[in-house]
Homo-oligomer: A and B are copies of this chain.
């Protein structure tokens, strides 16, 4: 299909499509003339993915580029690709972190080992978690690793069917894309449900 048809099918403007092509988020179409290219169903799906990550997931373009590079790197096996996609979602933290973040990072490492969670050494999530713990402690929140265990027991049960669902996809790209959209969107679902619960519980416990 031509770019105008791709725009109609995906609901993304031609200007945005050209921007995503330039930025390397969308693979080029099949060249048919000097100034014309042919696009397929993969392009429609990829555009839906890009828009979901930006509009719904709130990811900046740089993070979208990093995660999609992991999706498209056919050389990495499926599990590593699942990891790489997750790693693309966060900035890699700076080395010169404060002492309280350093201490929290050691706790996170010990805690992950106690859960037998295998995570790649370059994963940004344990570093992010250490920053979050240090922040909560600066505001005197009583945070311990047993609190994290309660959250993790629940989360582990929720993600198992998600991983199975992604793995059952017909090909590697569909599997990794599904994993990506699930990671970003379902994570956000939990955040929004938490906000609703906070408001509802606060209202309920209010004397007025």
Which residues on A are within 8 Å of B, measured CB to CB? Answer: 48, 52, 56, 77-79, 82-83, 86, 89-90, 112, 115-120, 123, 125-126, 128-129, 131-133, 135-136, 138-139, 141-142, 148, 150-152, 154-156, 158-160, 162-165, 167, 177-179, 181-183, 185-206, 208
Contacts and interface: CB of A to CB of B under 8 A. Distances in A.
A165 B189 contact: no
A51 to B, nearest CB: 9
Contacts of A163: 198, 201-202, 205
A45 to B, nearest CB: 9
Contacts of A116: 200
Most buried by B among A126, A148, A162, A189: A189
Contacts of A182: 136, 141
A185 B123 contact: no
Contacts of A82: 198-199, 202
Contact of A196 (B77, B126, B138, B178): B126
A138 B150 CA distance: 32
Total copies of the chain: 2
Most chain B beta-carbon neighbours within 10 Å: one of A77, A138, A205: A138
A119 B86 contact: no
B205 A164 contact: yes
Nearest to A11: B98
A142 B182 CA distance: 11
Contacts of A159: 194, 197-198, 201
A155 B190 contact: yes
B156 A154 contact: no
